[in-house]
Amino acid sequence: MIYHTSAPKSLKTKVLLPSSKSISNRALILNALCNHPEKINNISTCDDTEVVIKSLNKDRKNIDIGAAGTAMRFLTAYLSGQKGSYTLTGTERMKNRPIKILVDALRSVGAHIEYVEKEGFPPLHIRGQTLKGGEISLDGSVSSQYISALLMIAPIMTNGLRLHLTGNVISGPYINITIRLMRLFGVIVFEEEQTFTIPPQQYSPVENFTVESDWSAASYWYEMVALCKNDNAAVSLSGLLPDSLQGDASIVALFDKLGVKTTFTLSGTILTKKRQPVSSPFIFDFVSMPDMAQTAVVTCIMLNIPFRFSGLQSLKIKETDRLNALKTELHKLGYQLEIRNENTLEWNGKRCEAESSPVIATYQDHRMAMAFAPVSLCTENGIKIADPEVVSKSYPTYWSDLKKAGFAITGL
């Protein structure tokens, strides 16, 4: 399916944002590790979280997590410490996303994991058992999800866990979410620079735990306000907290440079237009929030702001190779980007001939669809998005929210 999206002349809307996928998935694992789990309120309804909920069913032995990378990493660790025999698989793309670093780490603390098809990649066969724990050194520059997966199961290991991170640690805010939630669920975590020490202990359930709204979902509305040509644009977003657990809340400062003012209220935030103070080229390191890169790249391109964005090494192992996906799809729109050292994306203002009727491919990546749809605010003929249903991975109501805001969306 292809959606043709056309933008309204003005943008004034209120949006009920989805709850945070990052918090939901971690809270579900931590809650499951408690002796007497409590109900979690406002849990995300996205595909990735639904997969985790279904997979935590004790009767499930063959688990297909689809395209949910977070679920694959977290469940690999979680099931390793749960007695039973499990097979964990996913989409073809998932079968080509590396997991060897995590599997090696888990094996070193007593896990029994075998590769079903290709060495170093899912599917996995896991024979869950009590993990002895111990001491691990892990490359922190590959994926914070490996680190979070190990940290969350550390308290149930017989000897606990001492985890040393080497190299430049990426996506630090996601590790911070994990640590803060672990402490909220009653366990002690000692931190010293890039070393975490977690003694053996028991998680405690949290009564009336409520998941906050998703800052990554909010980012697309920031993009829309930035791209809207009407200076009176105003978007009200529900449930966002100024002291959020989520690292992606840093988009407030990022988009302040791209012309969006954030005003916090009792119920959430209001986004309005402001003057763009950003200097050109716009230089920014996304190592702490790589999931926001696609949104920022498309925004800068449409605002004609040359940029150099670094800290993007993890984008090569996401739902797709996001660096090449961005380069390919923006070329269709007439923009020539360069990838440097597999971790930096640059645009110096160089243009190329645009396709007459481009269709943006989404590569089974929800963020490609949501980052490119706002381009319709900058084009007379709107924008065409292929496989638009991929948004269900993190923001199932994205297209209906756009319609409520006045966007015209037709299926082709």
- Smallest Cα–Cα separation from 20: which of 262, 152, 197, 214? 214
- Going across the sheet that includes 260-264, the strands are 12-15, 234-238, 268-273, 260-264
φ, ψ of residue 151 in degrees (nearest 5): -60, -45
- Smallest Cα–Cα separation from 201: which of 183, 175, 222? 183
Using DSSP, state whether 309 is helix, strand or coil.
strand
Whole-number Cα distances in Å, 179 to 23, 26, 147, 149, 186 = 11, 10, 10, 11, 11
Give the chain's count of helices (H) and strands (E): 12, 22
Residue carrying the six token digits 């000897």: 159
Query: For 35-38, which contacts have Cβ atoms below 8 Å and span 24 or more sequence positions?
Result: 35/202, 35/203, 35/205, 36/205, 37/205, 38/205, 38/206, 38/207, 38/208, 38/209
The tokens describing 162, both together, are: 């001492």
What span, in angstroms and rounded, lies between the C-alpha atoms of 391 and 47? Answer: 9
Q: 78-90 burial, b if ≥16 CB within 10 A, otherwise e?
A: bbbbbeeebbbbb
- Going across the sheet that includes 62-64, the strands are 62-64, 84-89, 124-128, 112-115
Active site residues: 291
The tokens describing 138, both together, are: 């892990």
Neighbour tally for 267: CB within 10 Å: 12
